[in-house]
Amino acid sequence: MTRTMPAPAMTETKPRAKRIFNFSPGPATLPEEVILRAREDIWSILDSGIGIMEHSHRGKVFDRVLEEAIADCRALGGVGDDYDILFLQGGATLQFAMIPMNFLPEGRTADYLVTGEWASKAAKEAKKLGSVHIAFTSEPTNFDHTPADSEIRYSETPAYVHYCSNNTIYGTRYNNPPKAGVPLIVDTSSEMFSRPIDVKRHALIYAGAQKNLGPAGVVLIIIRKDFMAGAKKGLPSLLSYPDMAAQGSRLNTPPTFGIYFMGQVFKWILRQGGLAAMEKRNDEKAALVYDAIDRSGGFYRCVSQPQCRSAMNVTFRTPSAELDDKFIAEAKKQDMDGLKGYRSVGGMRASIYNAFPRAGCDLLAQFMHDFARRYG
């Protein structure tokens, strides 16, 4: 017998609560149309009468959710059948350990390019599990740039090379993947699917969802099958890429809502025109903020060097810490939140991921011009 259920709150006529511009580095802004779609699917997905968070992870409804997420991910990134797509738990931070557990054999060395906080943490975790060589670090210049290939000093025949493509805290990015000649692994957590990505150049790509792909709690893995086949044997199943791949990310109950939401974000990006269209849109948004910095007559200073500025995280300072605090407080009064820089860097950080609206960048740029005029 079908139960008569009360109408969900989404049918009520009261106005929605106000949303402000969220410049947070993560968890971060999500596409509003995806949020509204999720609200419906939390109540009942695919006319099943059961919400997405209540469905069995082995039922036909979630089968479809997972299949569509994988198919859309392949379509977005041009990911061929020679790669597996996994949705795992533990976020990007667990990958810092899981990667060397699987791919750093005894007697071999892994090379790490250290360009910021998360790349540094990845190297530190790997050192607990095997031999690590720091092939490059920008720490002496406070992580203000990513390396040219001529700056990198690889070890002899490393098992793999690891880098972070976009550095959230310092606002830098690689314009192109480094030339390694061995399996290349990349943490793309803060820029995944914000621009085209050369999947074929990489053995493993990973991205925590909460910056550009969805809610916290799930990490996207794109891994080349022949590379995965060389993983160590005998690891705990949940820490083994081959074991997780063999079970289609469902060795145990996966983060079903996070996977669903990420799949909806993939569909949203496809509707925007794909990765080339997202790159154009993101470059235009970032240019608004960088232009306000560059035209300020030195009032604002970027943390990053110009040749490697991030389109996702714009980091900058005013002439003093006192003015930085005033900037953040005044911006918040104008509905711009999350602009405080990371504690080790200070200043401001505007995180403007895929779903962040251009209107927020316009408002921030206008505010920056006005603030510099008043206090410069």
Burial of 196 (0-12, 13-18, 19+ CB in 10 A): middle
Rounded to an integer, what distance in angstroms lies between the CA atom of residue 310 and that of residue 314?
A: 6
Residue 45: how many CB atoms within 10 A of its CB?
22
Of 211, 267, 285, 340, the active-site residue reads 211
Q: Is 137 helix (H, G, I), strand (E, B) or coil?
A: strand
Q: Is 370 a catalytic residue?
A: no
Contact 112, 130 (CB under 8 A): no
CA dist 155 and 110 (Å) reads 8
Any idea which residue has 């997780």 for tokens?
244
Sign of CA dihedral 146, 147, 152, 158: positive
- By CB atoms closer than 10 A (0-12, 13-18, 19+), residue 122 is buried
Active-site residue, from 41, 72, 84, 118: 118
Distance of CA 28 to the CA centre of its chain: 10
Task: Check residue 241 and report its DSSP letter.
Answer: H
Q: For this structure, is 43 an active site residue?
A: no
Rounded distance, CA 25 to CA 46, Å? 33
- Which two structure tokens, joined as six digits, stand for 265? 């974000």
Tally of CB atoms within 10 A around 85: 20
Residue with tokens 């690889």: 154
What is the Cα gyration radius of the chain?
Answer: 22
Amino acid letter, 198: D
Query: Is 211 a catalytic site residue?
Result: yes
CA distance 352 to 161: 28
- Active-site pick, 144, 187, 285, 340: 187
- The answer to whether 44 and 50 are in contact (CB under 8 A) is yes
Active site residues: 118, 187, 211
